Amino acid sequence: MTVRCLLGMLGTDVHSKGIRTLAQILRDAGIEVIYIGEHNTVEGMARAVVDEDADIVGVSFSSAAYIEYTRQLIAAMKRLGAGDVPVMLGGIIHPDDYGVLREIGVSGIFGPGSLMEDIIAFVRAKGRSNI
């Protein structure tokens, strides 16, 4: 089945250049990207994950609040019965926080210097027909 990947940003973060580039690159890798842009609420994004039946959700952060936002997002997804959908993060994520983020339940972290081919391979592997 075609892999569906939901991409967006939370809160006041507006640095969308990176995630838009990723949307295009995933498109060119044959993935259907549901792009929901900036200024989403945690609840709104979690509901979009359910309604769009996303195989994976990717959130880009350039602000410092990413641990709290990610914790809330995963909690909201669990509450809506979508706790099994993997979450990946990109943008400016400090390596010191990787451990905490993985404890929260983040499956993939792609900070500065990440290779696009690694992200593509990661997203492809999360397609449900590939599990």
Partner 1 sequence: MSGALPPAAAAVLAGGRRAAARLLSLAEAGDSGITTDIKALYRAGGQARIIGITGPPGVGKSTLVDGLISQLRAAGKRVAVISVDPSSPVSGGAVLGDRIRMSRHAEDDGVFIRSMAARGTLGGLAPATGDAVTIFDAMGFDIIIVETVGVGQNEVDILSHAHIVLLLQTAHGGDDVQMVKAGILEIADIYVVNKADAPGSEKFARALAEVIAHGAPRTDGWAPPVLLTMGIEGSGVAALLDQIDGFFARQAAAPLAAQARQARQVRARVLALADAALRRRLGTAREAGLEALIAAIIARKSDPHELAAALVHSSVP
Residues that bind partner 1 (CB under 8 A): 1-2, 4, 23-24, 26-37, 39-41, 43-45, 47-48, 50-53, 80-82
- Write down the least CB distance from residue 28 to partner 1, Å: 5
CB-wise, 14 or 64, nearer to partner 1? 14
CB 67 to partner 1: min, Å: 23
Any idea which residue has 């640095």 for tokens? 15
Q: Would you say 2 or 115 has its CB closer to partner 1?
A: 2
**Nearer Cβ to partner 1 (50/104):** 50
Distance, CA of 111 to chain centre: 12
82 torsion bin: left (phi>0), alpha (psi -120 to 50), beta (else): alpha
Query: CB of residue 49 vs partner 1: minimum separation in angstroms?
Result: 9
Q: Give 6 or 106: the residue with its C-beta nearer to partner 1.
A: 6
The residue length of the chain stands at: 131
42 burial via Cβ count (<10 Å: 0-12, 13-18, 19+): buried
Our CB check for partner 1 shows the closer of 5 and 93 to be 5
Cβ 22 to partner 1, closest distance in Å? 10
User: Nearest distance from residue 105's CB to partner 1, in Å?
Assistant: 18
Measured from the Cβ of residue 8, the count of other Cβ atoms closer than 10 Å reads 23
**Class of residue 131 by CB neighbours under 10 A (exposed 0-12, middle 13-18, buried 19+):** exposed
